[in-house]
Amino acid sequence: MSSGLDPGERWTEAAEADARVLVALALSEDVGAGDWTTLWAVDPDVQAEATVLAKAPLVLAGAAVARLAFHSVDAGLVVEVLGKEGPSLAPGTEILHVCGSARSILTAERTALNFLGRLSGIATLTRQFVDAVKGTRARITDTRKTTPGWRHLEKWAVRVGGGTNHRMGLHDMILVKDNHIAIAGGVAEVTRRVLARNTVGLPVEVEVTRLQELEELRGLGVDRILLDNMELKTMAEAVRRVGEWPDPRPELEASGTMTLDRVRAVAETGVDWISIGALTHSVRTADLSLRVSPGLRPLAEGSQAVTSRLETPAAVHGRERR
């Protein structure tokens, strides 16, 4: 059920651009006029090394963004990415190794871990849902319930966890929801209006909450039907009915109160997609720690560390694929 993509292929230019903006903003709000504790407690010539560890099982996502945070504070820091993005990692796994100015490491620490923990938490939760529906036809997808400004990064983390992205925004897919229907005059009327005006060929999905609404969509030619907050028995009946429609039949997506305890039963109704807002809006940050000690150790043989210039996440991923 995993996407099977290399992490570099999952990364997008939009995610990279957002990472740069968000890291700069995060450092600005955290450091402000200066990290006075570090500046007054640590001499400028002190060197140190630090290791970021997984304290609980997790799927790593965001190592390149954490690297960007360290390098945004000090491009001279040496940052090694030790953990792989995508596979499940055990507690105690070393994820990053950083060495260089002790001041720089301490100043960048919280910002780097905030990004790494948030994105890894999303990837980890996504993997749990993906694993829960293995062996069924259902694919796990996200929603637009993302942190404002973080959408490209959070949806990227969903892909790292083996999930699939729903529409990125209002602009790349038509999704007729209950409020559109309530305002504009019924599910069939709204759908016909949208289909007639869709001259650019965007995919069209329509939300229904009852089997009666489902039947109103028969033969209209929508691409996907969203079964919202239906009981399992009703959902299974919707799958059966649509299976009797003539080709091309729309795909079916289930949504509403999806939990790890319930998602398997939903998948076994035969739906094609299960959308889960909790992947991004209710995720628990992955448990990570950074351990720092004075002094430096030699880099591991074949290290991918960068010392002389600030690299973008995409550049890092591109070099790691070679």
List residues with catalytic annotation.
Answer: 110, 145, 177, 207, 228
Are the C-beta atoms of residues 286 and 54 closer than 8 Å to each other? Answer: yes
Nearest alpha-carbon partner for 83 in 98, 63, 105, 69: 63
Residue 277 tokens read as: 């807002």
Polymer length of the chain: 322
Secondary structure of residue 207 in the 3-state scheme: strand
Query: What DSSP character marks residue 249?
Result: P
Distance CA 252, CA 211 (A): 13
286 contacts: CB under 8 Å, gap ≥ 6: 54, 56, 58, 116, 117, 118, 120, 121, 124
Other residues' Cβ atoms within 10 Å of the Cβ of residue 258: 19
Are the C-beta atoms of residues 129 and 255 closer than 8 Å to each other? Answer: no
Secondary structure of residue 26 in the 3-state scheme: helix
Residue 280 tokens read as: 């991004």
**Could you identify the residue written with the tokens 């993005």?**
85
